[in-house]
């Protein structure tokens, strides 16, 4: 009764808001999409789409099918990806997703070492934050997701890691605070986060912003966020210009440091950003993926973090 094409059609309708737009996104004709919807409604004996002047949406029954269909399509895509890899169709190509500072500080050494040792290996990289990397992995669009999550201390499995995913811890990096040289706390070796309650803040990516807000609330205040940027060099430059203070994981500090007008200090309470490489259980048995996971672990071990002392 239910086929993969039905789930793909429902997903397209939900995303596009009209049958004609859904048909274009799928490469179908509009009558073909209409026929699939009508056939499915007859088989299920309930409407699955609802039409209004503005758009076409899904009924409650359609939403149920969409929710399950998204999971099914992800599983099918992952199965196809793993079968291709195991069958050797792309055994020499590894697709990675990684956040910017990890892509800058960990990947070049790891992938450079691998290509020197194994001429047949090649790589592709999609730069994205952890949430996007997980989505790509679960859709079968990448083989390895290099992700991070914040903790007050210690190493653990990345939040949201699925039962058929395997994680390799790469490193734990301390989170410091970046201050303009004229800030009242710039002379302290260790800065109390609570003492920064009156400062303006510069927030990073959504996950970094969430960590900033959680950390500040844990010590009794909501941060006054004046600027937001995903660019870690810009974040430091804004702080150096006296426009605010910012939390700065060590990989960002190693990748780019705006020296003039900026000081970086240890933070209390201490927090860490845990960096992990995640793949599926099936892909972890593919030699090219296994070699890449091992190379990432070795490269992370060799990352040099600048000394905070002036």
User: Which residues are 285's β-sheet partners?
Assistant: none
Q: What is the pLDDT of residue 157?
A: 54
Best CATH choice for the domain 172-272 from the list 3.40.190.10, 3.40.1160.10, 3.40.1350.10, 3.40.50.720 = 3.40.190.10
64: CB partners within 8 A, 6+ apart: none
Query: What pLDDT, on a 0 to 100 scale, did the predictor assign at position 2?
Result: 83
Query: What are the residue ranges spanned by the domains of the chain?
Result: 4-84, 90-146+157-169+275-301, 172-272
Just give the CATH number of 90-146+157-169+275-301.
Answer: 3.40.190.10
**Upstream peptide bond of 278 is cis (omega within 30 degrees of 0):** no
Global confidence as pTM? 0.72
Are 142 and 97 spatial neighbours (Cβ–Cβ below 8 Å)? yes
**Rg, the chain, Cα only:** 24
Q: Round to whole Å and give the CA distance between 151 and 174.
A: 10
At residue 273, the pLDDT reads 92
Same fold for the pair 90-146+157-169+275-301 and 172-272: yes
What 3-state DSSP class applies to 262? strand
Looking at residue 224, its pLDDT comes to: 96
- The SS3 assignment for 65 reads helix
The owner of tokens 């780019």 is 256
Task: Give the fold, CATH level 3, of 4-84.
Answer: Arc Repressor Mutant, subunit A (1.10.10)
Residue 91: the pLDDT is 57
Instruction: Give the tens place of pLDDT for each residue, 179-213.
Output: 999 999 999 999 999 999 999 999 988 888 988 99
pLDDT of residue 310: 46
Give the 3-state secondary structure of residue 7. Answer: helix
pLDDT < 50 positions in the chain: 89, 153-156, 310
* Residue 183 confidence (pLDDT): 93
CA distance 208 to 204: 5
The Cα–Cα gap between 268 and 249 comes to 14
Query: Position of tokens 């793949």?
Result: 279
């Amino acid at each position: 009764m239910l086929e993969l094409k039905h789930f793909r059609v429902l997903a397209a309708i939900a995303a596009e808001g009209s049958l004609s737009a859904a048909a274009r996104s799928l490469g179908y004709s509009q009558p073909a999409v209409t026929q699939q919807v009508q056939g499915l409604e007859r088989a299920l004996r309930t409407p699955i789409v609802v039409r209004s002047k503005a758009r076409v949406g899904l009924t409650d029954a359609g939403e149920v099918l969409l929710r399950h269909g998204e999971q099914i399509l992800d599983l099918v895509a992952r199965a196809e990806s793993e079968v291709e890899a195991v069958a050797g169709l792309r055994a020499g190509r590894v697709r990675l997703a990684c956040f910017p500072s990890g892509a800058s500080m960990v990947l070049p050494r790891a992938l450079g070492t691998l290509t020197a040792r194994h001429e047949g290996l090649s790589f592709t990289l999609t730069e994205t934050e952890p949430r996007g990397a997980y989505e790509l992995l679960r859709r079968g669009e990448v083989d390895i997701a290099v992700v991070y999550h914040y903790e007050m201390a210690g190493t653990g499995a990345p939040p949201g890691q699925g039962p058929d995913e395997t994680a390799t811890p790469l490193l734990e990096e301390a989170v410091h605070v970046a201050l303009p040289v004229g800030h009242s706390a710039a002379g302290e070796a260790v800065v109390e986060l609570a003492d920064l309650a009156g400062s303006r803040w510069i927030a990073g990516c959504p996950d970094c912003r969430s960590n900033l807000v959680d950390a500040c609330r844990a010590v009794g205040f909501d941060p006054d966020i004046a600027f937001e940027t995903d660019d870690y060099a810009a974040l430091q430059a804004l702080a150096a210009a006296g426009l605010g203070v910012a939390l700065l994981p060590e990989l960002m500090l190693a990748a780019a440091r705006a020296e003039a007008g900026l000081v970086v200090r240890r933070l209390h309470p201490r927090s860490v950003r845990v960096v992990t490489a995640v793949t599926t259980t099936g892909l972890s048995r593919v030699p090219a993926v296994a070699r890449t996971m091992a190379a990432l672990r070795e490269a992370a071990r060799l990352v040099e973090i600048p000394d905070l002392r002036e």
